[in-house]
Amino acid sequence: MLDFQYKPNSLIQKFIFERNDEYLIQSNSHEEKVILLILRDLLRLNWEITFKTNQISIKPPQFYDKQIIKSSMEIKRHEAINQKQIWINQHLELARNNIGNGDEVWESEITPEIEICQTQQQHDIFRIFRYYWSSPYSEYVGRRLKLIIRDSALPNKPVIGIAALGSSIVHIPDRDKWIGWDRPTRTKNLIYTMDAYVLGALPPYNYLLGGKLISYLIASNEVREIYQQRYKDVITNISKRTANDIACVFTTSLYGRSSQYNRVKFDNNNLFNHIGETRGYGTLHLTDETFKAMRELIEINGKSVTNRFGDGPIWRMRVIRTAANILGFDADFLLKHSFQRAIYVTPLAKNYKDFLQGNDQSLEYLDYPLNSLVENWHNRWLHNRRNNQEVKEAVTNFRKSDFSIG
């Protein structure tokens, strides 16, 4: 439970009783402003308030409703879009030039072609499409592999969707327990896993379950070989082994178990296996506006929280902890009540667990040819979608000139 002190007739008291967001921009006190912003963010998530003399206590609900999470992510997404609006406007035409009209896509054989982001234009295409997602834009540090998936069956090769692999997060308890990692083994072998932190389709392919197609491709021999080629000269510091082997790919779903990964199979193997949930420890439930106010509060109090390259979420947590120390509330309680994510694993080798546990010295890779995976998607998913009249109308009515981000 979070406890905040307040004075009678203060803006904090008025905000709690009247729930008027206008109070958030009227306070001249940095301390009061940060408290108001935290309260606003948490009340949007249905946190419950109890009152004591000159004190507010606030606690989270038993669980976050899916719609509550989506609403919160929409707020954060719009924050990110507003911050980059000029850049987005400058690149919107680039996005429209790289997607397809619905009537053409409906007639397409849909033959995916994997394009690695290398040039500035490729990175710009990836970035502009990433802003389309409902979750806010974030970037991984360390190893990164960004992919654009195009439909080579059409002359202009429109983009079906995008995907990105990044270095795995260091500690996820359910994942580590499921693999059978202790801390030394995880430290040694984490480099042989990757996280799929972007994975999805764009219109009009999303109406045709293009997201499932992109999911299939992540398991393909071709994506694995692209990764191996990219990191063929990287050597681990501890074991001095090459770091281009990849045993499996992890991904998480913010909204619980995801239909995108459900029943994605090949040769009777589930390509995505649900293995647990994250602990919900993080900063995703707090807006950038609140975070900025915390930084200002820290600066006003003569403190500094450096942001070194690669700090990422760790830096944000240190900022929140420092602000909490100034205000006198429990930062751990606030941080551990963010959103839980469902964790999925995509095995790329038969013996990936034994390898990651250090019992095997080499990987026995599964054979997932791209063409076979695509054929499986065609037969299992696309055929049924194309027999659906509502889907046909949604696809054929789409015009790339209608594509927008907002």
| pLDDT of the residue at 140 | 61
Confidence of residue 308 (pLDDT cuts 50, 70, 90): low
| pLDDT tens-digit series, residues 279-304 | 888 888 899 899 999 999 999 999 88
Flag whether pLDDT at 310 surpasses 80. Answer: no
CA distance 50 to 10: 17
Among 196, 123, 205, 211, which residue's Cα sits nearest to residue 159? 205
| pLDDT tens-digit series, residues 333-349 | 988 888 889 999 999 99
Q: What distance, in Å, lies between the first and last C-alpha atoms of the chain?
A: 35
Confidence of residue 274 (pLDDT cuts 50, 70, 90): very high
Cα-based distances in Å from 109 to 115, 205, 291: 18, 12, 47
| pLDDT tens-digit series, residues 349-382 | 999 999 999 999 999 999 999 999 999 999 999 9
Residue 141: both structure tokens together: 């540090």
Residue 376: both structure tokens together: 């499986």
Lowest-confidence range among 152-166, 168-182, 229-243, 276-290?
Answer: 229-243
DSSP state of 136: P
CA distance 137 to 80: 7
Between 102 and 338, the more confident residue is 102
Buried-exposed string 389-400: b where 16+ CB fall within 10 A, e elsewhere? eebbebbbebeb
Count other Cβ atoms within 10 Å, centred on residue 64. Answer: 20
| pLDDT of the residue at 25 | 57
Flag whether pLDDT at 24 surpasses 70. Answer: no
Among 96, 160, 16, 229, which residue's Cα sits nearest to residue 8? 16
Flag whether pLDDT at 236 surpasses 80. Answer: no
Planar angle of CA 107, 261, 129, nearest 5 degrees: 60
| pLDDT tens-digit series, residues 31-66 | 888 988 998 899 888 888 887 777 888 889 888 888
CA distance 66 to 40: 19
CA distance 160 to 252: 21
Planar angle of CA 251, 380, 112, nearest 5 degrees: 65
The structure's pTM equals: 0.88
Mean pLDDT of the chain: 89
Which residue type sits at 71?
A: S
Provide mean pLDDT across the span 382-387. 95
| pLDDT of the residue at 329 | 87
Strand partners, 195: 166, 250
Between 64 and 211, the more confident residue is 211
CA distance 282 to 339: 8
Residue 103: both structure tokens together: 């009537």
| pLDDT of the residue at 67 | 87
| pLDDT tens-digit series, residues 112-155 | 999 999 999 999 999 999 999 877 666 666 788 999 999 999 99
CA distance 297 to 275: 40
| pLDDT of the residue at 7 | 76
Alpha-helix runs per DSSP H in 253-379: 288-300, 313-327, 331-335, 352-356, 370-377
Strand partners, 163: 147, 199
Q: Assess contact for 164 and 198: CB atoms under 8 A.
A: yes
Q: Assess contact for 134 and 74: CB atoms under 8 A.
A: yes
Residue 334: both structure tokens together: 């606030």
| pLDDT of the residue at 279 | 87
